[in-house]
Amino acid sequence: MMNTIPKTADFIVIGGGIMGASTAYHLAQRGCKNVVLLEKEEFHGQGATGRCAGGVRYQFSTEINIRLSQISLPMIERFPEELGQEVDFQKAGYLFLLNNEKDIATFERNINLQHSLGVMTEWLSGDEVRKRLPMMKLKDIVKAAFNGNEGLVDPNGLVMGYINAASKLGVNAINEVEVTGMKIISGKVAGVETNQGNIDAPVVINCAGPWAGQITKFAGFDIPIKPLRRQMLVTTPLQGIPEDFPMVIDFAQSLYFHREGEGILTGMSNQDEKYGFDQSVDSDFELFNMERAIERMPILETAGLTSHWAGLYEVTPDAHPIYGKTPVDGLFLVGGFSGHGFMHGPVSGKLMSEIILDDEFKTLDVSMLDLARFEENRLIHEYNVV
Protein backbone atom coordinates (compact mmCIF):
# COMPACT_ATOMS: atom_id res chain seq x y z
CA MET A 1 0.00 0.00 0.00
CA MET A 2 1.45 3.33 -1.06
CA ASN A 3 1.63 6.16 1.43
CA THR A 4 0.39 9.60 0.49
CA ILE A 5 3.20 12.07 0.96
CA PRO A 6 2.78 15.86 1.15
CA LYS A 7 4.18 18.21 -1.48
CA THR A 8 5.70 20.53 1.13
CA ALA A 9 6.89 20.51 4.72
CA ASP A 10 8.60 22.88 7.12
CA PHE A 11 10.88 20.14 8.47
CA ILE A 12 11.77 16.75 6.99
CA VAL A 13 13.34 14.16 9.29
CA ILE A 14 14.95 11.24 7.44
CA GLY A 15 14.99 7.99 9.41
CA GLY A 16 12.40 6.49 11.74
CA GLY A 17 14.74 4.95 14.32
CA ILE A 18 15.45 6.41 17.74
CA MET A 19 17.28 9.50 16.39
CA GLY A 20 14.59 10.44 13.91
CA ALA A 21 11.73 9.68 16.28
CA SER A 22 13.28 11.71 19.10
CA THR A 23 14.16 14.61 16.81
CA ALA A 24 10.65 14.77 15.29
CA TYR A 25 9.07 14.62 18.75
CA HIS A 26 11.27 17.35 20.22
CA LEU A 27 10.65 19.64 17.23
CA ALA A 28 6.90 19.17 17.64
CA GLN A 29 7.17 19.64 21.40
CA ARG A 30 8.73 23.04 20.69
CA GLY A 31 5.65 23.97 18.67
CA CYS A 32 6.92 23.19 15.18
CA LYS A 33 4.20 22.44 12.63
CA ASN A 34 4.32 20.56 9.36
CA VAL A 35 7.04 18.14 10.49
CA VAL A 36 7.35 15.08 8.23
CA LEU A 37 9.20 11.95 9.35
CA LEU A 38 10.22 9.55 6.58
CA GLU A 39 11.05 5.87 7.23
CA LYS A 40 11.94 3.54 4.37
CA GLU A 41 10.91 0.36 6.20
CA GLU A 42 7.37 -0.90 6.74
CA PHE A 43 7.56 -0.09 10.44
CA HIS A 44 9.48 2.45 12.51
CA GLY A 45 12.60 1.34 14.35
CA GLN A 46 13.31 -1.66 12.11
CA GLY A 47 16.79 -0.51 11.11
CA ALA A 48 19.78 -0.17 13.44
CA THR A 49 17.61 0.65 16.47
CA GLY A 50 15.44 -2.43 16.17
CA ARG A 51 18.47 -4.70 15.82
CA CYS A 52 20.43 -3.41 18.83
CA ALA A 53 20.88 -5.13 22.19
CA GLY A 54 19.05 -2.38 24.09
CA GLY A 55 21.83 -1.61 26.56
CA VAL A 56 22.11 1.76 28.31
CA ARG A 57 25.12 2.84 30.37
CA TYR A 58 27.13 5.63 31.95
CA GLN A 59 30.49 3.88 31.69
CA PHE A 60 32.35 5.78 28.99
CA SER A 61 35.89 7.09 28.72
CA THR A 62 35.16 10.68 27.65
CA GLU A 63 33.43 13.48 29.50
CA ILE A 64 31.06 14.26 26.64
CA ASN A 65 29.75 10.69 26.38
CA ILE A 66 29.31 10.47 30.14
CA ARG A 67 27.39 13.75 30.19
CA LEU A 68 25.20 12.61 27.31
CA SER A 69 24.30 9.55 29.38
CA GLN A 70 23.68 11.67 32.48
CA ILE A 71 20.93 13.50 30.61
CA SER A 72 19.62 10.75 28.34
CA LEU A 73 19.24 7.87 30.80
CA PRO A 74 17.09 9.90 33.24
CA MET A 75 14.94 10.88 30.24
CA ILE A 76 14.43 7.16 29.62
CA GLU A 77 13.56 6.59 33.28
CA ARG A 78 10.92 9.34 33.11
CA PHE A 79 9.58 8.06 29.79
CA PRO A 80 6.51 6.18 31.13
CA GLU A 81 5.46 9.21 33.18
CA GLU A 82 6.13 11.87 30.57
CA LEU A 83 5.14 10.08 27.36
CA GLY A 84 2.83 7.36 28.66
CA GLN A 85 4.86 4.50 27.18
CA GLU A 86 6.46 1.68 29.14
CA VAL A 87 10.04 0.94 28.08
CA ASP A 88 10.90 -1.88 30.54
CA PHE A 89 14.04 -0.28 32.00
CA GLN A 90 15.77 -3.16 33.79
CA LYS A 91 18.56 -1.91 36.05
CA ALA A 92 20.63 -5.07 36.26
CA GLY A 93 23.82 -3.08 35.73
CA TYR A 94 26.81 -3.34 33.40
CA LEU A 95 29.81 -5.43 34.43
CA PHE A 96 33.02 -4.97 32.44
CA LEU A 97 35.37 -7.92 32.97
CA LEU A 98 39.08 -7.03 32.75
CA ASN A 99 41.96 -9.48 32.48
CA ASN A 100 44.98 -7.43 31.40
CA GLU A 101 46.98 -4.53 32.79
CA LYS A 102 46.40 -2.21 29.81
CA ASP A 103 42.62 -2.33 30.12
CA ILE A 104 42.76 -2.12 33.92
CA ALA A 105 44.94 1.01 33.80
CA THR A 106 42.65 2.65 31.22
CA PHE A 107 39.49 1.73 33.12
CA GLU A 108 41.01 3.12 36.30
CA ARG A 109 41.43 6.49 34.57
CA ASN A 110 37.92 6.20 33.13
CA ILE A 111 36.39 5.44 36.52
CA ASN A 112 38.22 8.37 38.11
CA LEU A 113 36.71 10.59 35.39
CA GLN A 114 33.27 9.07 35.97
CA HIS A 115 33.56 9.68 39.73
CA SER A 116 34.57 13.31 39.12
CA LEU A 117 31.33 13.74 37.14
CA GLY A 118 29.15 12.05 39.76
CA VAL A 119 28.92 8.59 38.14
CA MET A 120 29.85 6.22 40.96
CA THR A 121 31.05 3.14 39.11
CA GLU A 122 32.44 0.47 41.44
CA TRP A 123 35.66 -1.51 41.26
CA LEU A 124 35.23 -5.22 41.94
CA SER A 125 38.03 -7.69 42.55
CA GLY A 126 38.30 -10.90 40.58
CA ASP A 127 37.17 -12.88 43.63
CA GLU A 128 34.11 -10.64 44.06
CA VAL A 129 33.12 -11.21 40.43
CA ARG A 130 33.62 -14.96 40.65
CA LYS A 131 31.45 -15.08 43.78
CA ARG A 132 28.73 -13.07 42.06
CA LEU A 133 28.75 -15.11 38.82
CA PRO A 134 29.47 -18.71 39.82
CA MET A 135 27.97 -20.01 36.56
CA MET A 136 30.82 -18.38 34.59
CA LYS A 137 34.47 -19.33 34.20
CA LEU A 138 36.36 -16.21 35.26
CA LYS A 139 39.67 -17.53 36.60
CA ASP A 140 41.67 -15.01 34.54
CA ILE A 141 39.60 -11.95 35.52
CA VAL A 142 41.66 -9.58 37.70
CA LYS A 143 39.18 -6.72 38.12
CA ALA A 144 35.79 -5.55 36.92
CA ALA A 145 33.92 -2.27 36.65
CA PHE A 146 30.27 -2.31 37.73
CA ASN A 147 27.49 0.28 37.75
CA GLY A 148 24.09 -0.82 39.00
CA ASN A 149 22.25 2.16 37.51
CA GLU A 150 22.81 0.84 34.00
CA GLY A 151 20.91 -1.90 32.23
CA LEU A 152 18.50 -2.73 29.43
CA VAL A 153 15.60 -0.91 27.75
CA ASP A 154 13.04 -2.04 25.16
CA PRO A 155 14.08 -0.41 21.84
CA ASN A 156 10.63 -0.72 20.26
CA GLY A 157 8.93 0.85 23.30
CA LEU A 158 11.24 3.86 23.20
CA VAL A 159 10.89 4.44 19.46
CA MET A 160 7.12 3.97 19.36
CA GLY A 161 6.68 6.13 22.43
CA TYR A 162 8.27 9.00 20.56
CA ILE A 163 6.44 8.22 17.31
CA ASN A 164 3.04 8.10 19.00
CA ALA A 165 3.67 11.25 21.04
CA ALA A 166 4.99 13.08 17.98
CA SER A 167 1.96 12.02 15.93
CA LYS A 168 -0.37 13.42 18.60
CA LEU A 169 1.49 16.71 18.26
CA GLY A 170 0.90 16.75 14.51
CA VAL A 171 4.00 15.07 13.10
CA ASN A 172 3.28 13.24 9.84
CA ALA A 173 5.19 9.96 10.29
CA ILE A 174 5.22 8.05 7.01
CA ASN A 175 6.56 4.56 6.35
CA GLU A 176 7.84 2.90 3.18
CA VAL A 177 9.22 6.15 1.78
CA GLU A 178 12.85 6.02 0.72
CA VAL A 179 14.83 9.18 0.05
CA THR A 180 16.47 8.90 -3.36
CA GLY A 181 17.83 12.40 -3.84
CA MET A 182 18.21 15.88 -2.45
CA LYS A 183 17.08 19.20 -3.89
CA ILE A 184 19.76 21.86 -3.42
CA ILE A 185 19.43 25.44 -4.67
CA SER A 186 22.35 27.87 -4.35
CA GLY A 187 23.94 25.87 -1.55
CA LYS A 188 20.75 25.57 0.45
CA VAL A 189 18.53 22.56 0.89
CA ALA A 190 15.13 22.87 -0.76
CA GLY A 191 13.67 19.44 -0.22
CA VAL A 192 14.07 15.74 -0.92
CA GLU A 193 13.30 13.31 -3.72
CA THR A 194 11.72 10.00 -2.73
CA ASN A 195 10.47 6.81 -4.34
CA GLN A 196 6.96 8.25 -3.98
CA GLY A 197 7.53 11.80 -5.13
CA ASN A 198 9.26 15.01 -4.10
CA ILE A 199 8.76 17.06 -0.94
CA ASP A 200 9.87 20.69 -0.74
CA ALA A 201 11.21 21.89 2.61
CA PRO A 202 13.72 24.48 3.88
CA VAL A 203 15.04 22.21 6.68
CA VAL A 204 16.08 18.55 6.40
CA ILE A 205 17.52 16.49 9.27
CA ASN A 206 19.58 13.43 8.38
CA CYS A 207 18.89 10.80 11.06
CA ALA A 208 19.49 7.84 8.76
CA GLY A 209 22.02 6.09 11.01
CA PRO A 210 24.21 3.66 9.02
CA TRP A 211 22.69 5.05 5.83
CA ALA A 212 23.49 8.68 6.71
CA GLY A 213 26.42 8.74 4.29
CA GLN A 214 24.15 7.80 1.40
CA ILE A 215 21.92 10.75 2.21
CA THR A 216 24.78 13.26 2.31
CA LYS A 217 26.05 11.97 -1.04
CA PHE A 218 22.76 13.15 -2.51
CA ALA A 219 23.69 16.59 -1.18
CA GLY A 220 27.14 16.47 -2.75
CA PHE A 221 29.47 15.76 0.18
CA ASP A 222 30.83 12.82 2.15
CA ILE A 223 30.85 12.15 5.88
CA PRO A 224 33.05 9.71 7.85
CA ILE A 225 30.16 7.46 8.96
CA LYS A 226 30.46 3.85 7.82
CA PRO A 227 28.16 0.84 8.36
CA LEU A 228 29.62 -2.13 10.20
CA ARG A 229 27.81 -5.43 10.80
CA ARG A 230 27.32 -6.70 14.34
CA GLN A 231 25.31 -9.82 15.21
CA MET A 232 23.86 -11.59 18.24
CA LEU A 233 21.76 -14.57 19.22
CA VAL A 234 19.32 -15.64 21.92
CA THR A 235 19.30 -19.08 23.53
CA THR A 236 16.49 -21.28 24.75
CA PRO A 237 15.63 -21.05 28.48
CA LEU A 238 18.41 -21.93 30.92
CA GLN A 239 18.31 -22.90 34.58
CA GLY A 240 20.47 -21.13 37.13
CA ILE A 241 20.57 -17.65 35.58
CA PRO A 242 19.70 -15.16 38.36
CA GLU A 243 17.06 -12.48 37.81
CA ASP A 244 19.65 -9.75 38.45
CA PHE A 245 22.19 -11.14 35.96
CA PRO A 246 23.88 -7.99 34.59
CA MET A 247 25.05 -7.03 31.14
CA VAL A 248 28.38 -8.86 31.30
CA ILE A 249 31.10 -7.67 28.92
CA ASP A 250 34.34 -9.57 28.47
CA PHE A 251 36.08 -6.42 27.34
CA ALA A 252 39.25 -7.90 25.86
CA GLN A 253 37.18 -10.15 23.57
CA SER A 254 34.31 -7.69 22.93
CA LEU A 255 32.07 -10.55 24.03
CA TYR A 256 28.88 -9.85 25.93
CA PHE A 257 25.97 -11.59 27.64
CA HIS A 258 22.70 -10.48 29.14
CA ARG A 259 19.52 -12.15 30.25
CA GLU A 260 16.83 -12.27 27.55
CA GLY A 261 13.62 -13.72 28.95
CA GLU A 262 14.58 -17.10 30.40
CA GLY A 263 17.58 -17.41 28.11
CA ILE A 264 20.80 -15.55 27.36
CA LEU A 265 21.53 -13.07 24.60
CA THR A 266 25.15 -13.13 23.52
CA GLY A 267 27.04 -11.18 20.91
CA MET A 268 30.61 -10.43 19.94
CA SER A 269 32.40 -7.89 17.80
CA ASN A 270 34.04 -9.40 14.72
CA GLN A 271 37.43 -7.70 14.53
CA ASP A 272 37.77 -8.79 10.88
CA GLU A 273 34.38 -7.44 9.77
CA LYS A 274 34.48 -5.25 6.66
CA TYR A 275 32.41 -2.11 6.24
CA GLY A 276 29.18 -2.65 4.34
CA PHE A 277 25.41 -2.95 4.53
CA ASP A 278 25.20 -6.75 4.79
CA GLN A 279 22.73 -7.64 7.58
CA SER A 280 22.70 -11.39 7.07
CA VAL A 281 23.97 -13.63 9.87
CA ASP A 282 27.54 -14.86 9.34
CA SER A 283 27.15 -18.50 10.46
CA ASP A 284 30.90 -19.08 10.73
CA PHE A 285 31.35 -16.14 13.05
CA GLU A 286 28.23 -17.12 14.99
CA LEU A 287 29.91 -20.45 15.71
CA PHE A 288 33.08 -18.63 16.80
CA ASN A 289 30.96 -16.38 19.07
CA MET A 290 29.29 -19.41 20.65
CA GLU A 291 32.60 -21.20 21.21
CA ARG A 292 33.98 -18.17 23.06
CA ALA A 293 30.70 -17.73 24.95
CA ILE A 294 30.69 -21.39 26.09
CA GLU A 295 34.25 -20.99 27.35
CA ARG A 296 33.02 -18.20 29.62
CA MET A 297 29.63 -19.74 30.45
CA PRO A 298 29.74 -23.52 30.04
CA ILE A 299 25.99 -23.88 30.68
CA LEU A 300 25.43 -22.43 27.19
CA GLU A 301 26.58 -25.74 25.73
CA THR A 302 23.22 -27.21 26.76
CA ALA A 303 21.18 -24.41 25.21
CA GLY A 304 19.40 -24.28 21.89
CA LEU A 305 19.01 -21.34 19.54
CA THR A 306 15.81 -19.30 19.76
CA SER A 307 16.69 -16.47 17.38
CA HIS A 308 19.62 -14.68 15.80
CA TRP A 309 20.06 -11.54 13.75
CA ALA A 310 22.55 -8.98 12.51
CA GLY A 311 22.37 -5.19 12.49
CA LEU A 312 24.59 -2.25 11.66
CA TYR A 313 26.74 0.02 13.77
CA GLU A 314 27.26 3.50 12.33
CA VAL A 315 30.91 4.11 13.09
CA THR A 316 33.12 7.18 12.94
CA PRO A 317 36.94 7.33 13.20
CA ASP A 318 36.78 8.43 16.86
CA ALA A 319 33.65 6.47 17.89
CA HIS A 320 31.80 9.69 18.71
CA PRO A 321 28.71 11.04 16.96
CA ILE A 322 28.33 14.03 14.68
CA TYR A 323 25.84 16.73 15.64
CA GLY A 324 24.65 19.85 13.88
CA LYS A 325 25.09 21.75 10.68
CA THR A 326 26.57 20.55 7.40
CA PRO A 327 28.11 22.32 4.38
CA VAL A 328 24.59 22.62 2.91
CA ASP A 329 22.53 25.35 4.56
CA GLY A 330 19.40 23.92 6.17
CA LEU A 331 20.66 20.33 6.11
CA PHE A 332 21.44 18.98 9.58
CA LEU A 333 23.03 15.73 10.71
CA VAL A 334 22.97 13.54 13.79
CA GLY A 335 24.70 10.17 13.53
CA GLY A 336 27.81 8.08 13.93
CA PHE A 337 27.27 6.88 17.49
CA SER A 338 29.38 3.75 16.96
CA GLY A 339 27.13 1.40 18.92
CA HIS A 340 25.75 3.69 21.63
CA GLY A 341 23.17 5.68 19.70
CA PHE A 342 20.15 3.97 21.23
CA MET A 343 20.98 5.12 24.75
CA HIS A 344 21.75 8.68 23.62
CA GLY A 345 18.74 9.00 21.33
CA PRO A 346 16.49 10.85 23.79
CA VAL A 347 18.92 13.69 24.51
CA SER A 348 20.13 13.80 20.91
CA GLY A 349 16.69 14.61 19.53
CA LYS A 350 16.39 17.42 22.05
CA LEU A 351 19.83 18.76 21.12
CA MET A 352 18.95 18.71 17.42
CA SER A 353 15.76 20.68 18.06
CA GLU A 354 17.91 23.28 19.81
CA ILE A 355 20.56 23.69 17.11
CA ILE A 356 17.79 23.93 14.48
CA LEU A 357 15.50 26.35 16.32
CA ASP A 358 17.91 28.25 18.59
CA ASP A 359 21.11 28.04 16.56
CA GLU A 360 22.91 26.62 19.61
CA PHE A 361 23.00 23.57 21.85
CA LYS A 362 21.45 24.56 25.16
CA THR A 363 20.90 21.35 27.12
CA LEU A 364 24.53 20.28 26.66
CA ASP A 365 27.32 21.81 24.62
CA VAL A 366 28.16 19.20 21.99
CA SER A 367 29.63 21.71 19.56
CA MET A 368 32.99 19.89 19.70
CA LEU A 369 31.24 16.92 18.03
CA ASP A 370 30.81 18.76 14.75
CA LEU A 371 31.54 17.48 11.28
CA ALA A 372 34.54 19.78 10.87
CA ARG A 373 36.52 18.06 13.62
CA PHE A 374 37.64 15.31 11.26
CA GLU A 375 39.31 17.72 8.84
CA GLU A 376 40.66 19.86 11.68
CA ASN A 377 42.12 16.88 13.57
CA ARG A 378 40.04 17.47 16.72
CA LEU A 379 39.07 13.84 17.23
CA ILE A 380 37.89 12.67 20.67
CA HIS A 381 38.47 8.93 21.00
CA GLU A 382 36.12 6.68 22.96
CA TYR A 383 37.80 3.64 24.55
CA ASN A 384 34.74 1.82 25.90
CA VAL A 385 33.43 0.54 22.58
CA VAL A 386 32.03 -2.97 22.40
d(CA 87, CA 77): 8
d(CA 284, CA 46): 25
Q: In DSSP terms, which residues pair with 192 in a beta bridge?
A: 182, 199
User: For residue 47, what pLDDT is reported?
Assistant: 62
The span from the CA of 79 to the CA of 83, in Å, is: 5
CB 225 within 8 A of CB 336: yes
The reported pLDDT for the residue numbered 231 is 95
Q: Are residues 138 and 152 in the same domain?
A: no
Domain boundary among 294, 311, 328: 311
The pLDDT assigned to 1 comes to 36
Q: Strands 143-147 and 94-98: what pairing?
A: antiparallel
- pLDDT at position 263, please? 95
Asked if residue 338 and residue 271 are part of one domain, the reply reads: no
How far apart are alpha carbons 297 and 56 in whole angstroms?
23
Q: Is the domain of 57 the same as that of 175? A: yes
* Residue 36 bridge partners (DSSP): 12, 172
Burial 236-258 (b: 16+ CB within 10 A, else e): eebeebeeebbbbbbbebbbbbb
Residues 84 and 97 in one domain: no
CATH number at residue 58: 3.50.50.60
**Nearest alpha carbon to residue 323 among 22, 8, 51, 7:** 22
Nearest to 333 by CA among 312, 317, 313, 356: 356
Domain count, the chain: 2
Q: Is the pTM of this model over 0.85?
A: yes
Asked if residue 282 and residue 320 are part of one domain, the reply reads no
- Do residue 103 and residue 193 come from a single domain? no
User: CA-CA distance, 248 to 300, in Å (whole number)?
Assistant: 14
Q: Profile the chain (386 residues) by mean pLDDT over runs of 10 residues.
A: 80 96 98 96 68 88 98 97 94 97 97 98 98 97 98 94 97 96 97 97 98 97 97 95 95 96 95 96 97 97 95 96 98 96 96 98 98 97 92
d(CA 305, CA 264): 10
What pLDDT does 2 receive?
Answer: 46
Task: Let me know whether 290 and 192 are in one domain.
Answer: no
Q: What local confidence, expressed as pLDDT, does residue 48 receive?
A: 61
In the beta sheet, which residues pair with residue 335? Answer: 322
pLDDT attached to residue 308: 96
- Please list the residues that pair with 197 across neighbouring strands: 194
Which CATH number does the domain housing residue 256 bear? Answer: 3.30.9.10
Rounded-to-integer distance, Cα 199 and Cα 323, Å: 24
| Judgement on whether residues 120 and 209 belong to the same structural domain of the protein | no
Give the range of the structural domain holding residue 256, as residue numbers without chain letter.
90-146+228-311
Same domain, 185 and 218: yes
Closest Cα partner for 70 from 368, 384, 346?
Answer: 346
Regarding whether 344 and 295 lie in a shared domain, the answer is no
Domain boundary among 311, 336, 367: 311
The answer to whether the CB of 281 falls within 8 A of the CB of 231 is: yes
Helix/strand/coil for 309: strand
| Residue 166 and residue 292 in one domain | no
In three-state secondary structure terms, 62 is coil
Instruction: Tell me, yes or no, whether 83 and 95 share the same domain.
Output: no
Of 289, 311, 333, which closes a domain? 311
